[in-house]
Chain A
Amino acid sequence: MIRIGLRDARAHFSRFVMSIIAIALGVSFVVGSFCFREMMNDQVDQMMGSNTDHDVYVRGTDEKKDDDTDSSSSSMKTYNDIDDTLVDDIKDVKGVKTAEIVYSVSGSLVLVKQDGNAVSTMGSPTMGIGLAKGTWRSAHLTEGRWATNRNEVALHSYAAETSGLKVGDTTKLVYPSGPEDVTVVGVFDTDVSQAGAIILGLAPDVAKDLYQQQTGEIGRTQYIGVYGSGNKGQPLTNDQQRALADRINKALPAGSKATAITGDQLRDEYSQSIKDMLGFIQPLILIFAVIALFVGSFIIANTFSMIVRESMRGYALLRSVGASPMQVFSTVIIQALLLGLVGSAAGIGLGWGMVRLIVFGMARMGTPLSGAGNPSPTDMLVGLLVGVTVTFIGAALPARRAAMAPPIQAMNETVNPEKPVRPRAVTGTIMVVLGVAAWLFCWRIATVDGEPTSVGFLNALADRYGTGWPLGIGAGLIVIGVIVLAPALVRPAGVVLGFLPSLVFRVTGRLAVRNLSRQKRRTANTAAALFVGVAIVSCLSVVAASAKASVAGIVDTGLKSDFAVSSAASGRIPDAAVDAVKQVDGVKSVSTSRMLMNVKYDGKRISGTSFAEQPSLFTDVFAPVTMSGDANKALRDGELVVGETIAKDRGWQVGDTVTMTGERVSVDEEATAKAQADWQAQTQAKVTALQQEAQKLAASGDAAGAQAKAAEAQQAVTDAQNVDPSTLIRTKSETTRATVKVGAIISNSIYRTMVLMNDETAEKLADQQTMFTIQLFIAAKKGTDTEALRKRLVKAVKPYYVLSVLDREDYKSTMSSMVDQILIILYALLALSIVIAIFGIVNTLALSVSERTKEIGLLRAIGTSRAQVRGMLAIEAAIISVFGTLLGLVTGVGAGVVIRAVYGGNGLEVLSIPWDQLGVFLVLSIVVGLLASVQPAGRALRKPVLDAVASE
Chain B
Amino acid sequence: MGRHTAQAVQARRGHDGKADNTGNAARPAGSARPVRQTRKSQTTRDGEAVARAVDLVKTYGAKDTAVVALDHVNVEFMRGQMTAIMGPSGSGKSTLMHCMAGLDAPTSGKVFVEGLEVSAMGQRQLTKLRREQIGFIFQSFNLVPTLSAEENILLPLQIAGKPIDRAWFDHVVHVVGLEKRLTHRPSQLSGGQQQRVACARALMARPSVIFADEPTGNLDSRSSREVLSFLKTSVHDYGQTIVMVTHDPRAASYADRVLVLADGRIVNDMSHPSYEQILDVFASEGTDDTDGGTAEGEERA
Interface residues of A (CB under 8 A from B): 413-414, 506-507, 510-511, 514-515, 517-518, 854-855, 858-866, 868, 944-947, 949-952
State the CA gap A946–B103 with chains docked (Å). Answer: 5
Encode B89-119 as 1/0 by CB contact (under 8 A) with A.
0000010001000011000000000000000
* B127 x A863 contact (CB < 8 A): yes
* B138 x A507 contact (CB < 8 A): no
Interface residues of B (CB under 8 A from A): 94, 98, 103-104, 123-124, 127, 130-131, 135-136, 138-147, 151, 155-156, 158-160, 187, 201, 213-214, 217, 298, 300-301
* B160 x A949 contact (CB < 8 A): no
Residues of B within 8 A of A514 (CB): 146-147
Residue of A nearest to B124 (CB): A865
Main secondary structure of the interface of A (DSSP, over half): helix
* A863 x B300 contact (CB < 8 A): no
* B144 x A511 contact (CB < 8 A): yes
Listed A/B pairs (16) with beta-carbon separation below 8 Å: A414-B145, A510-B151, A515-B146, A517-B146, A858-B136, A858-B141, A858-B143, A859-B155, A863-B130, A863-B160, A864-B127, A945-B103, A949-B103, A951-B138, A951-B140, A951-B141
Residue of A nearest to B141 (CB): A854
* A859 x B298 contact (CB < 8 A): no
Q: Which of B94, B103, B138, B143 has the most CB of A within 10 A?
A: B103
Top 6 nearest A-B pairs (CB, nearest first) are A514-B146, A863-B131, A863-B130, A951-B139, A950-B301, A946-B103
Q: A511-B144, A854-B141, A949-B138 are in contact. List 14 more A-B contacts (CB 8 A).
A: A507-B155, A511-B147, A515-B146, A858-B136, A862-B136, A862-B155, A862-B156, A863-B156, A863-B160, A865-B124, A865-B159, A949-B136, A951-B214, A951-B217
State the CA gap A860–B144 with chains docked (Å). Answer: 12
Q: How far is the CB of A363 from chain B (nearest CB, A)?
A: 54
State the CA gap A264–B301 with chains docked (Å). Answer: 79
Q: How far is the CB of A51 from chain B (nearest CB, A)?
A: 68
Residue of B nearest to A506 (CB): B158
* A507 x B141 contact (CB < 8 A): no
Residues of B within 8 A of A858 (CB): 136, 138, 141-144
State the CA gap A507–B103 with chains docked (Å). Answer: 23
* B124 x A952 contact (CB < 8 A): no
Residue of B nearest to A949 (CB): B138
Q: How far is the CB of A870 from chain B (nearest CB, A)?
A: 12
Residues of A within 8 A of B127 (CB): 860, 863-866
Residue of B nearest to A417 (CB): B187
Q: How far is the CB of B70 from chain A (nearest CB, A)?
A: 14
* A951 x B213 contact (CB < 8 A): yes
Residues of A within 8 A of B136 (CB): 858, 861-862, 949
State the CA gap A949–B97 with chains docked (Å). Answer: 13
Residues of A within 8 A of B138 (CB): 858, 861, 949, 951
* A518 x B146 contact (CB < 8 A): yes
* A863 x B214 contact (CB < 8 A): no
Choose among B146, B155, B298 the residue that contacts A951 (Cβ–Cβ < 8 A). Answer: B298
* A855 x B104 contact (CB < 8 A): no
* A952 x B156 contact (CB < 8 A): no
Given known contacts A414-B187, A507-B158, A946 and B301 CB-to-CB distance under 8 angstroms: yes
Given known contacts A946-B98, A946-B104, A864 and B159 CB-to-CB distance under 8 angstroms: yes
Residues of A within 8 A of B139 (CB): 951
State the CA gap A859–B144 with chains docked (Å). Answer: 8
* A862 x B158 contact (CB < 8 A): no
* A862 x B146 contact (CB < 8 A): no
Residues of B within 8 A of A515 (CB): 146
Given known contacts A414-B187, A511-B146, A855 and B155 CB-to-CB distance under 8 angstroms: no
* A866 x B155 contact (CB < 8 A): no
State the CA gap A414–B186 with chains docked (Å). Answer: 11
Q: How far is the CB of A360 from chain B (nearest CB, A)?
A: 49
Residues of B within 8 A of A511 (CB): 144, 146-147
Q: Which of A510, A515, A863, A952 has the most CB of B within 10 A?
A: A863
